[in-house]
Amino acid sequence: MRLVSILLIFLTYSGYAQYKCATDEITRKHANINEAYARGLEQMDSLASQFESGLMSQSERTAKKIIIPVVVHVVYRNEEDNIGMEQIHSQIDVLNRDFNWQQEDKYKIPELWRDLGAASGFEFRLADRDPDGNFTNGVTRKQTDIEDIANVDNVGGAIQYYNSAKGGTDPWYQPHYLNIWVCEIGDRVLGYTYLPSANEVEPNDGIVIEPRAFGTTGRAAAPYTGGRTLVHEMGHYFGLRHLWGDEEGQCTNTDYMDDTPWQAEPNFKCSSFPSKSCPSEPDGDMFMNFMDYADDTCSLLFTKNQIEYMQLVIRTAKVTLIHSEAVTGVSELGNQGVHIFPNPSSGVFQIIRSNPAEMDFFIYNSIGDQILTGKTTEPQLSIDLTKHAPGIYFFKSEQGSESLVLQNK
């Protein structure tokens, strides 16, 4: 039974070396403590089998653009692991690039597989609204005195990266936020995640990444400075398996994707084409696939089927992410230094101002009638439109030259 997908990346004394997967160990442990989760993963295996066999219509295999709200929990023991916003933004940029087939290094993919790449339609954004409705930059920070707080041996034990009472940081409401913990893992591990279950969301649902394998700058260390450890783990988060399936050493274990070759074992570093592990595959392994273990500079590709399956999973086991209000749609301040959230809103809007000067403001409806006016010197105020009809409204200040759109629903 494939229940939990954990990516273990072993290091040499001088630096990082190889990945190793501890799926069997963690799978047994988790299955023993949560039968419902195990049953849900069996259901996801059944879904994957239907997908592989072609029993689904094309409309079931495709999706429109989807915004995925992300919160990054930085849990650090040493100040150097309290990674900066530049490193965090660099990782979000990599996710959006690689998940949408925009990587400039795709020319490295062997020609026979280059046309298999596809865009997912996923857009990853740091949340700008927290679970309480407050403005946020999508990042939390907590200093802990616990070494290797996300060590896999502690999963479910006395030390938990996802539990504030046990030294970590509580997740934001997981059906509506993709939680990522950036913290020490130990035992030469760089990252791991859990495959999605059809039944329930676990308290540790999300992704765990070492700061040295996160993003492209700051604490990121070679050969994992391309941000692709998280790309790999994100594939697992949305249901993808390793190319060699459940177990290394076999050429009969499926990853449920009929556009990836059979593969017996992982490929490390940067292999040369062809790299063959199964006699049945004359073109060898697709070692540059994101779900293998190549170094970041040689990890390059999700296939069309992999993209379609992730789209299917987000419409089933992860469907609540689609309906999240964690991203308001206002990604930047207007030139008045004003941020409005949530937007759309059910009637009450919060206004955040970066300029402390007194501000006169006006609200207009869609035909230009002024319906509200006010004056404030406060950095935050509320605007209540619950007595007004749903629709589009415009916020304008006496000092500003632009109108900001409010959607009352």
CA 103, 104, 106: angle at the middle one, nearest 5? Answer: 75
**Mean pLDDT for the stretch of residues 48-66:** 73
> What pLDDT does residue 3 have?
45
What is the secondary structure of 4-54 as a DSSP string?
Answer: ---EEEEE-SSSEEEEEE-HHHHHHHHHHH-HHHHHHHHHHHHHHHHHHHT
Rounded distance between C-alpha atoms, residue 161 and residue 166, angstroms: 8
More confident position, 322 or 180? 180
Catalytic residue numbers, as ranges: 233
Residue for token pair 């998280």: 230
Q: Give 127's pLDDT tier (boundaries 50, 70, 90).
A: very high
Phi, then psi, of 11 in degrees rounded to 5:
-110, 150
Is 114 a residue whose pLDDT tops 70? yes
Question: How much is the pLDDT for 181?
Answer: 95
Q: Work out the pLDDT band at 8, boundaries 50, 70, 90.
A: very low
**All domains in the chain, ordered by first residue:** 7-321 (3.40.390.10), 338-408 (2.60.40)
% residues pLDDT > 70 (the chain): 80
Residue 335 pLDDT > 60: no
Instruction: Give the separation between CA 402 and CA 285, rounded to whole angstroms.
Output: 55
Pairing of strands 66-76, 122-126: parallel
CB atoms within 10 A of CB 295: 17
Top pLDDT among 40 and 172 is at 172
Cis peptide bond N-terminal to 279, omega within 30: no
Query: Measured in whole angstroms, how far is the alpha carbon of residue 398 from the centre of its chain?
Result: 40
| Residue 16 confidence (pLDDT) above 50 | no
Per-residue pLDDT tens digits for 252-280: 888 899 899 888 788 887 867 787 878 88
The model's pTM is 0.77
Average pLDDT of the chain to the nearest whole number: 81
- For residue 19, the cross-strand partners are 9
Strands (E), 110-242: 122-126, 139-143, 178-182, 191-193, 207-209
Residue with tokens 């992730």, as numbered in its chain: 310
d(CA 317, CA 280): 34
CA atoms within 13 A on the CB side of 154: 19
Secondary structure letter of residue 316 according to DSSP: T
Confidence of residue 27 (pLDDT cuts 50, 70, 90): very low
- Separation CA 223–CA 15 (nearest Å): 9
**How much is the average pLDDT of 216-238?**
93
The amino acid sitting at 100 is: N
Q: Which of 239, 246, 75, 245 is nearest to 145 (CA)?
A: 75
pLDDT number for residue 31: 66
pLDDT tens-place string over residues 337-392: 677 777 677 788 887 776 667 888 888 876 677 888 888 888 788 888 888 887 77
Q: Return the minimum-mean-pLDDT range out of 10-19, 140-149, 218-227.
A: 10-19
In this structure, of 65-79, 160-174, 311-325, the range with the lowest mean pLDDT score is 311-325
